[in-house]
Amino acid sequence: MMIKRTIKLFVDFDGTITLEDVGEAIFRKFGNVEKVNSIVEDLLNDKISSRQCWNELCDSVGVIKKNELDEFIDLLDVDPTFISFVKFCKENEIELFVLSDGFDYYIDRIFNKAGITGLKYYSNKFIVDEKGILKTEYPYFDASSPTSANCKKNHIINHSGEDDYTIYIGDGNSDKDASQYCDFIFAKNGLARFCSMEKISFYPFTNFIDIQKKVAELLTKKNLRKRHQAELKRKSAYLAE
């Protein structure tokens, strides 16, 4: 029996919803692979911020042909299990937000290809100008969150309240800070390693079938406890507003 609760679910895009990291794939395709790898390595070693990383990656590409970019993006796919997971969330009145440190340009194109409509998402922005130069914008940048040019923790705070149960799903560097503000964390790859090192409780997952099964269990639990450290972080953030 499902128990009525307000659940807010926040999910990363690149490498979580998609089968691979789309942003990195684009820059490896159209830029110098060695240079791209070096820039990403600097980010993972906390030598540069996420915003600096994206700016350096864009600079490394130079001129790009929009039609070639679009053709490459069209080769990339969402995890097919995500589509049924979106349906599951709607059926169970779980509000789902996509939080991406990537860019709206390819998110829109990939969602349209997959037939996914109506999902609320927050991301950085880029366009390809008439000269073929990538122009970026970071409307949700917060200097206090250098691991993500789109401050994911702020979206979690803005879209949840003290009575809500919060879930985070992610896989990488931009998820490390934000995930700590949620009661239940589903993690793989870099985020799973981070949580293990920091002794933060999480559920490992391979795809959204794993997540759906566990969330369905959480929906039927009579005594569902919030993660204490996440509660403290959220309360501190609410008070600071």
**Rounded Cα gap, residues 190 and 200, in angstroms:** 13
Q: Determine contact, residues 153/160, Cβ cutoff 8 Å.
A: no
Asked whether residue 50 is assigned to any structural domain, the reply reads no
pLDDT at 1 over 70: no
Burial state string for 107-120 with b = 16 or more CB within 10 A and e = fewer than 16:
bebbbeebebeeee
Asked whether residue 41 is assigned to any structural domain, the reply reads no
Q: Note the pLDDT of residue 241.
A: 62
Asked whether residue 205 is assigned to any structural domain, the reply reads yes
The total of other beta-carbon atoms located within 10 Å of residue 240's CB is 7
Q: How many domains does the chain have?
A: 1
Domain range enclosing 198: 7-19+79-122+147-240
Q: Determine contact, residues 174/147, Cβ cutoff 8 Å.
A: yes
pTM for this one? 0.95
**Rounded Cα gap, residues 199 and 98, in angstroms:** 25
**Rounded Cα gap, residues 96 and 203, in angstroms:** 18
Q: Is 106 left (phi over 0), alpha (psi -120 to 50) or beta?
A: alpha
* pLDDT tens digits, one per residue of 45-56: 999 999 999 999
Asked whether residue 206 is assigned to any structural domain, the reply reads yes
Asked whether residue 89 is assigned to any structural domain, the reply reads yes
CATH code, domain carrying 90 = 3.40.50.1000
pLDDT at 226 over 80: yes
